[in-house]
Amino acid sequence: MQEHIVGFLSYLRGSRQYSAHTLRAYEADLKEFLEISKVKAPSEIERGVVRGYIADLQKKKNLSRNSLLRKISALRSLTRFLVERSLMSASPFVGLILPKKEKLLPKFMTEDEVSSLLEAPFASAGRFSLRDRALLEILYSSGVRRAELSSLNIGDVDFNGGFIRVFGKGSRERLVPAGNQALSALRAYLDSRPSRHGGEPLFLNSLNSRLSEQGIALIVKKWKNHLHWPKRLTPHMFRHSFATHLLNAGCDLRSLQEMLGHKNLSNTQIYTHISLEHLKDVYGKAHPRSRISHGR
């Protein structure tokens, strides 16, 4: 089975162009499936085995609904791959009732919270202060995913046009606007570097190599701790904040979909729920007939 899983992951990497992050998650999920199910060959992955595996996962109290669904998706994709290559006669998922996806609203920062974060005294970060400020500014200004940010090269930034060329999921290329403050912070960081050719990584680590996705997450965590930030803070929260603030300011869904690099508009529409909650809050505070009247 391990050989088939290696072939499956290679297929996702080459033909489907899955991100390194997704591939790592799928590899761990399928390894876990083999440990639990004890199957040795594709023909052993029967409906009862899959049902037992899902039941075992559902018993884990610390497993979120979305993590559960990702693990199921990894196994379902593997079985589809095996069926297509005639290594299995049929999918064991046919007729199975699967857990429904949990609809969680994305966590985001308010505009004031973003301002307080980006206007913090970065100079105390020492030799990485310019890099860290530029990195956080770009995360919020462009809404890019951390994997996309990690893969950017200097030549992907158009300082004159105010755009960044991003290669998203499935290697789909898109141009994302970047604000003046973000570009100014980026210029200051690049001017501090001894070499800044177009093909070089946009952000470097302490070894002057490309800053990894994990490195980006650590920088965000460092600033959370440095500022004694009271809430949870992740790179993806900058993306959620970017989308929410644009919608609240009147950006249309199609434009936001393009900037976020969503293949389906339905993925972008989740931000309308956040925007509607904002509108309800504004309405509740402003409309004279919506406020609770006391003493009547």
Judge if 2-84 and 111-282 fold alike in CATH terms. no
- Say whether pLDDT at 99 is over 70: yes
Q: Identify the three-state secondary structure at position 62.
A: coil
- Say whether pLDDT at 294 is over 70: no
- Say whether pLDDT at 16 is over 60: yes
Q: Please state which of the four CATH numbers 1.10.150, 3.40.1350, 1.20.950, 1.10.3470 is assigned to the domain occupying 2-84.
A: 1.10.150
pLDDT value for 228: 87
Which residues 6+ apart lie within 8 Å of 78 measured at CB? 4, 5, 8, 30
pTM of the entire predicted model: 0.70
Q: Catalytic amino acids?
A: 145, 169, 236, 239, 262, 271
* In the chain, domain spans: 2-84, 111-282
- Say whether pLDDT at 148 is over 90: yes
* Domain 111-282 in CATH 1.10.287.130: no
Provide the edge-to-edge strand list for the sheet that holds 163-167: 157-158, 163-167, 173-177
User: For 220-272, how does the pLDDT look when each residue is reduced to its tens digit (9 = 90+)?
Assistant: 999 898 888 888 899 999 999 999 999 888 889 999 999 999 988 888 888 87
User: For 47-90, how does the pLDDT look when each residue is reduced to its tens digit (9 = 90+)?
Assistant: 999 999 999 998 887 888 888 999 999 999 999 999 999 999 99
